[in-house]
């Protein structure tokens, strides 16, 4: 899959992150990847929650090797990349490996080399980070052209999303953010949450984020998760699938 080409195309790098865990970020990533792949683009997911992998579990995959083997020089990218639904590619993370929860300078250099080597071999590279404001999270945010921050209606999720933008803007001078509101009743609720959130970021951080859209609370999402499948694959006509396709289109434009 990942062979050298005479001419490499430009790869769009999207980092999907969140201030708080439990907002459905990884579910968004897997479905977003399939939604983009369905539009005819080649997609690869990097599971960048390096010590607590989730993508493989969510999609019922059983990788033999993972990112740790590449970082440690034990395996190549070709050795560890696995196939997911609809032909998406996945670079899996390790699970229960504490030393990767804080990556050092050498490991960061190795990760940058991995990302650079993937450019041109796929059209879209989606990085799924852990939650929070750790250096691991900010490192992968800085590697992207687009940062998508997933939040939910919970006050703590909104507060933590604000904290993440604050760190990225004040410490690393990032100014472009996309906000996706997950698990809401409808667009009206999502828009209200975003407007209040945006007023706070504009007032205190001088940042006006982009409203990327919303994913409604949908029983199909829970049903698909229990079956370890993507909802956009198992229930392509459900409301959540319709909105994730809208998000995919916005990120491609």
Q: How many Å separate Cα 211 from the centre of its chain?
A: 16
Asked if the structure places residue 2 within a domain, the reply is no
Domain encompassing residue 175: 12-252
Number of domain units in the chain: 1
Which band of pLDDT confidence, cut at 50, 70 and 90, is reported for residue 54? confident
Q: Where would I find the beta strands (DSSP E) of 9-133?
A: 12-18, 43-48, 82-83, 89-91, 124-131
Cα torsion angle, 182, 199, 209, 17, sign: negative
Q: Kindly state the average pLDDT of the residues 112-134.
A: 92
In whole angstroms, what is the distance from residue 91 CA to residue 83 CA? Answer: 9
Which band of pLDDT confidence, cut at 50, 70 and 90, is reported for residue 95? low
In whole angstroms, what is the distance from residue 227 CA to residue 225 CA? Answer: 5
pLDDT of 69 strictly over 50 = yes
Asked if the structure places residue 114 within a domain, the reply is yes
In the DSSP assignment, the letter for residue 11 is: P
Asked if the structure places residue 143 within a domain, the reply is yes
Cα torsion angle, 1, 38, 84, 143, sign: positive
Whose structure tokens read 């033999």? 64
Which CATH number is 220's domain given? 3.40.50.300
Which band of pLDDT confidence, cut at 50, 70 and 90, is reported for residue 126? very high
Q: Where would I find the beta strands (DSSP E) of the chain?
A: 12-18, 43-48, 82-83, 89-91, 124-131, 146-151, 178-184, 210-216
Q: Kindly state the average pLDDT of the residues 225-251.
A: 97
| Cβ neighbour number for residue 18 with a 10 Å cutoff | 27
Q: Are 84 and 233 in contact (CB under 8 A)?
A: no
Q: Which residues pair with 192 in a beta bridge?
A: none
Which band of pLDDT confidence, cut at 50, 70 and 90, is reported for residue 253? confident
Asked if the structure places residue 7 within a domain, the reply is no
Asked if the structure places residue 24 within a domain, the reply is yes
Asked if the structure places residue 183 within a domain, the reply is yes
pLDDT tens track for 178-221:
999 999 999 999 999 999 999 999 999 999 999 999 999 999 99
Asked if the structure places residue 5 within a domain, the reply is no
Q: What is the pLDDT at residue 49?
A: 86
Give pTM, 2 decimals. 0.93
Pairing of strands 124-131, 82-83: unpaired
Copy the structure tokens of residue 33: 């990847």
Q: What is the pLDDT at residue 6?
A: 40
| Cβ neighbour number for residue 185 with a 10 Å cutoff | 11
Asked if the structure places residue 231 within a domain, the reply is yes
pLDDT of 2 strictly over 60 = no
pLDDT greater at residue 108 or residue 207: 207
Q: What is the pLDDT at residue 52?
A: 67
């Amino acid at each position: 899959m990942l062979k050298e080409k005479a001419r490499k195309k430009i790869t769009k790098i999207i980092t999907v992150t969140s201030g708080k865990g439990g907002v459905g970020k990884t579910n968004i990533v897997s479905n977003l990847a399939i939604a983009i792949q369905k539009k005819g683009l080649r997609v690869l997911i990097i599971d960048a929650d390096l010590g607590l992998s989730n993508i493989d579990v969510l999609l019922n995959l059983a990788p033999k090797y993972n990112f740790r083997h590449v970082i440690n020089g034990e395996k190549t990218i070709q050795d560890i990349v696995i196939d997911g639904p609809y032909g998406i590619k996945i670079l899996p993370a390790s699970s229960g490996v504490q030393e990767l929860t804080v990556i050092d300078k050498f490991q960061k250099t190795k990760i940058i080399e991995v990302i650079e080597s993937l450019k041109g071999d796929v059209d879209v590279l989606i990085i799924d980070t852990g939650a929070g404001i750790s250096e691991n999270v900010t490192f992968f945010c800085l590697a992207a052209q687009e940062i998508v921050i997933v939040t939910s209606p919970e006050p703590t999720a909104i507060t933590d999303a604000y904290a993440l933008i604050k760190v990225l803007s004040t410490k690393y001078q990032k100014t472009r953010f996309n906000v996706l509101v997950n698990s809401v009743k409808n667009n009206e609720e999502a828009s209200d949450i975003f407007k209040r959130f945006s007023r706070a970021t504009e007032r205190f951080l001088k940042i006006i984020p982009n409203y990327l859209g919303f994913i409604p609370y949908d029983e199909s999402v829970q049903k698909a998760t229990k079956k370890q499948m993507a909802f956009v694959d198992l229930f392509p006509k459900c409301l959540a699938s319709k909105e994730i396709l809208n998000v995919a289109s916005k990120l491609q434009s």
